[in-house]
Chains A and B, each alone.
Chain A
């Protein structure tokens, strides 16, 4: 029974991190270097925790956290929408750090540097896990069936997108809001599963962790970021002896992937499968098929 419980809490923290990784992956896929989702993780988490402590129903607190994150993201998007990539990265990193500063300095409301703990959550882990899985599937469906191609076009060629009648500014706003909502929801779910939240949820180490998840897995596919989040949530628990050297490993992984495998593990795996398939095809003397890549991933 204890083993079962441990497993379930591990799965819960994996799905929360998958959601958080998606909040960074959504803008990256759209060609927008916005890390603001990590700030919204803290916004959603603190909102959920504060309202729950004040006695609001859990679901209401969670929804409030997501809505507040969406609102803040929309405001941020209105300010930042014209910026080019690197300015945007700087401004959103600053946003994440400032959320951490606010959380650490807002006194009793946020519990200061220690944060809020012993939040009375009584939902259990399964509802949270199911919620996160449903949201992830919705996200994949949203991109696939509603806005996928236009986002890819805007990423690859802004002028082409303009000429096709794609409104880039409104698309960017949507990307920001979706990213913020995902981050906020992840933060709320984090509180629901561990019953606490601290200012460190918004800061440089969080940025490094989430970036590593997204880059290790590969932001080209949804499975990639989920894979990265799962590996980096589970592995530090398995290899606890590595201890405080984990950040160094994250750093080396980030650097190595950025240089040698920008498509991440997902890209490496798909290249491997393609290679195997090609060898098999050749061996069976089948007529050569030409590889056509669709979507412009990697």
Chain B
């Protein structure tokens, strides 16, 4: 039981990191980034290549992989998403083009990684996992890293979005990008920065997952993307605290299904959450809280 709670905590942490990135891009730029799962995979893949292939120290390689995923997302913004945002006048056309383009970009990243790894799961075995006993629980060092870094980053992102100048700029762009532009906010730099943070969070999540379960493959990105959809729908898009709460709610449910229920149906948990929340609270479980805040 305690071990399952620990598993849920770890899964919820990774989901939080992953979904926060997706939520940032959507909430502020109207970008439903279908390539977010590919960025997750890229983070794990780049660390695998840099540490196992090039023999970089783990910390350097891992950091480079996270920054690389962020840069990749930023390049997507600079080359494709910015063009879509400035070319198409109708909002629906913009959303559709963004959706289609990110599906395309994600596929390209996925297939390059799949080709390079021959479809075999890849990890970073040079990172040694050590188990420690705390209060009768067997906890590994990577699990501690996951939970601690999630707490630090979630608090940091929450603070950044609420209090910092740049965070306020992002929220202004989210509210009304034309007015934001008129107020002197450089929407293009805000967008580039947001996509960098979003991609780096996805890359970090990918790296942490591959360390924790010693190896992910390309399809893991799709699975996490599906769960992140559920997190966004349950938590409400653009709400940092909603996303965190939803991530842990779904993580607990999914862990319970894996541990005590029909484990092969765990992918169904996300879908059930999506359906139930859409039927009863279409704005997300925390919609009212969010409305009061803005």
Complex CA distance for A7 and B30, rounded to whole angstroms: 45
A254 touches B278 (CB 8 A): no
Assess whether A95 is interfacial by the CB under 8 Å rule. yes
Tell me the chain B residues, 106-154 only, with Cβ under 8 Å from chain A.
106-108, 110-112, 115
Q: Are B265 and A105 in contact (CB under 8 A)?
A: yes
Q: Can you list, as one digit per residue, whether each of A225-260 has a CB less than 8 Å from chain B (1) or not (0)?
A: 000000000000000000011011011111111110
Q: Which residues of A contact B278 (CB under 8 A)?
A: 79-80, 83, 87, 91
* Binary B-proximity of A74-98 (CB < 8 A = 1, otherwise 0): 0000011011011101110111011
CA of A208 to CA of B38 in the docked complex: distance in angstroms?
14
- A83 → B minimal CB distance (Å): 7
Q: A101-B268, A259-B80 are in contact. Are A247 and B100 (CB under 8 A)?
A: no
**Contact (Cβ within 8 A) B80 A89:** no
B154-181 residues at the A interface, CB under 8 angstroms: none
Interface size class of B (residues with CB under 8 A): 35 or more
Cross-chain contact A248 with B112 (CB below 8 angstroms): yes
Residues of A within 8 A of B30 (CB): 86
CB distance from A222 to the nearest CB of B (A): 18
> Which one of A31, A97, A253, A262 lies within 8 Å of B97 (CB-CB)?
A262
Q: In the assembly, what is the distance between CA of A250 and CA of B109, in Å?
A: 12
Q: Are A85 and B226 in contact (CB under 8 A)?
A: no
Quick one: CB contact mask for B235-272 with A, threshold 8 Å, 1 for yes? Answer: 00000000000000000000000000000110110110
Task: List the A residue with the shortest CB-CB distance to B232.
Answer: A90
Q: How many of chain A's residues touch chain B, expressed as a range?
A: 35 or more
Expressed in whole angstroms, the Cα–Cα distance for A213 and B279 within the complex equals: 32
Question: Binary interface profile of A, 48-92, with partner B (CB < 8 Å = 1, else 0)?
Answer: 000000000000000000000000000000011011011101110
Taken together as a complex, chains A and B put the C-alpha atoms of A253 and B108 apart, in Å, by 10
On chain B, the residues within 8 Å of A259 by CB distance are: 80, 83-84, 87, 97, 101
* Residue ID in chain A nearest B100 by CB atoms: A258
Secondary structure at chain B's binding surface: helix, strand, loop or mixed? helix
A contact residues around B268 at 8 Å (CB) = 98, 101-102
Assembled-state Cα–Cα distance A43/B77 (Å): 37
Q: Do B80 and A94 have beta carbons less than 8 Å apart? A: no
Q: Which B residues between 266 and 292 are near A, CB-CB below 8 angstroms?
A: 267-268, 270-271, 274-275, 278-279, 282
In the bound complex, CA of A195 to CA of B60 (Å): 53
Instruction: A101 to B105: give the CA distance in the assembly, Å.
Output: 24
A207 within 8 A of B: yes
Chain B hits for A28, CB < 8 A: 96
Interface residues of B (CB under 8 A from A): 26, 30, 32, 80, 83-84, 87-88, 92-93, 95-101, 103-108, 110-112, 115, 222, 226, 229-230, 232-233, 264-265, 267-268, 270-271, 274-275, 278-279, 282
By Cβ-Cβ distance, the 10 closest A-B pairs, closest first, are A254-B104, A251-B107, A255-B104, A258-B101, A251-B108, A258-B100, A98-B271, A251-B104, A90-B229, A258-B97
Could you list which residues of chain A lie within 8 angstroms of chain B, going by C-beta atoms?
A: 28, 31, 33, 79-80, 82-83, 85-87, 89-91, 93-95, 97-98, 101-102, 105, 155, 204, 207-208, 211-212, 215, 244-245, 247-248, 250-259, 262
A-B contact pairs, 30 of them (CB 8 A): A83-B282, A85-B92, A86-B30, A89-B32, A91-B233, A93-B226, A94-B274, A95-B271, A98-B267, A105-B264, A155-B92, A208-B107, A211-B100, A245-B111, A248-B107, A248-B112, A251-B103, A251-B104, A251-B105, A251-B106, A251-B108, A252-B108, A254-B100, A254-B101, A255-B108, A257-B100, A258-B84, A258-B104, A259-B83, A262-B93
